[in-house]
């Protein structure tokens, strides 16, 4: 293989790329890896989560506003990005509430997967990042993102599947994001408490049995030097991220000291590797150089 290393991250909405795996992407991009964020929907039905941006004019133009936010975040991270073109499903208030007609969460699997297969065959990633089979949290668009990521990973290399979407390409590894683990939040909580900084994590940790961890962490990517880039990308999504909110409650220097990695579960692999990993491209490097074109 003579092509450069390529990493694809598949996300449901604009802003997801900045809250999950952003420092990892920024690090690899800075090292010469080609990184592409694929965003399944435009986030049109998202709420304004930053009270400082809660204005009717923004809400009326949420789709366009979020596209502009995505472009700003993309530039900060140093990655490329493309939309698949599906419409945000919104987050139902309860499980019995029907999803809006035509939204991403209601698409047939092959319909929703076809443009991702095309993107994989065009970009030719060696590694794909996505959510676990619960979506990371039970948003219908996150669950569908997992489903199409698995489908596309398994289909993109098969010339008999999804005809008309480009020449076959088989990715080699697929990972689930594992950023919200009990171990990580316990470490941050203990560090903040030891420094007499009020920690918001105690109640969350005490209720952890309500959210059992389904997947083991197999891979921890050192990327603490890029946490500032991650935070700037988060802030670019001004309608979704409150600068005084959850994402910034733990000082960055504590995060860099106590937990300077972003963590993943290797869900699919066609190459040999050894656990624990500290590199998404473990087992792929032989004959592949990010300096090549």
Known binding residues are 13, 16, 142
Number of helices (H), then strands (E), in the chain: 10, 7
Based on the number of CB atoms within 10 Å of its own CB, is 118 exposed (0-12), middle (13-18) or buried (19 or more)? middle
Distance (Å, rounded) from C-alpha 256 to C-alpha 250?
10
Tokens representing 162?
A: 């999804």
Nearest to 85 by CA among 46, 124, 38: 38
Please report, to the nearest 10 degrees, the dihedral formed by the alpha carbons of residues 244, 250, 255, 258 taken in order: 180
Nearest to 227 by CA among 27, 35, 92, 4: 27
| End-to-end Cα spacing for the chain | 11
Q: How far is CA 287 from the centre of its chain?
A: 27
Annotation: binding site for Zn(2+): 13, 16, 142
8 A C-beta contact, residue 151 and residue 218: no
8 A C-beta contact, residue 214 and residue 134: yes
Nearest to 281 by CA among 31, 7, 32, 38: 7
Distance (Å, rounded) from C-alpha 42 to C-alpha 39?
7
Q: Radius of gyration (Cα) for the chain, nearest Å?
A: 19
H-helix or E-strand spanning residue 80: strand 80-86
Angle formed at CA 291 by CA 287 and CA 293, multiple of 5 degrees: 85
């Amino acid at each position: 293989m003579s092509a450069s290393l390529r990493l694809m991250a598949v996300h449901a909405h604009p802003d997801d790329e900045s809250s999950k795996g952003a420092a990892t992407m920024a690090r690899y991009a800075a090292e010469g890896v080609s990184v592409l964020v694929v965003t399944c929907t435009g986030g049109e039905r998202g709420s304004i989560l930053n009270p400082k941006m809660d204005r009717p004019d923004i809400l009326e133009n949420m789709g366009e506003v979020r596209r502009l936010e995505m472009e700003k975040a993309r530039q900060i991270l140093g990655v490329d990005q493309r939309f698949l073109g599906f419409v945000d499903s919104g987050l139902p208030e309860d499980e019995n509430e029907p999803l809006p007609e035509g939204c991403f969460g209601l698409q047939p699997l092959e319909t929703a997967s076809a443009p991702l297969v095309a993107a994989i065959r065009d970009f030719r990633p060696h590694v794909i990042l996505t959510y676990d089979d619960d979506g990371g949290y039970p948003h219908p668009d996150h669950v569908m993102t997992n489903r199409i990521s698995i489908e596309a990973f398994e289909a993109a290399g098969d010339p008999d599947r999804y005809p008309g979407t480009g020449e076959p390409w088989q990715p080699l590894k697929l990972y689930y994001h594992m950023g919200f683990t009990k171990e990580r939040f316990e470490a941050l909580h203990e560090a903040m408490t030891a420094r007499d900084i009020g920690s918001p994590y105690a109640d969350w940790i005490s209720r952890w049995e309500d959210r059992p961890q389904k997947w083991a962490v197999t891979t921890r990517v050192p990327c603490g030097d890029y946490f500032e880039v991650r935070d700037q990308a988060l802030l670019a999504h001004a309608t979704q991220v409150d600068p005084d909110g959850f994402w910034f409650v733990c000082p960055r220097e504590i995060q860099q000291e106590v937990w300077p990695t972003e963590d993943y579960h290797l869900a699919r692999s066609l190459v040999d590797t050894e656990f624990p990993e500290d590199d998404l491209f473990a087992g792929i490097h032989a004959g592949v150089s990010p300096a090549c074109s």
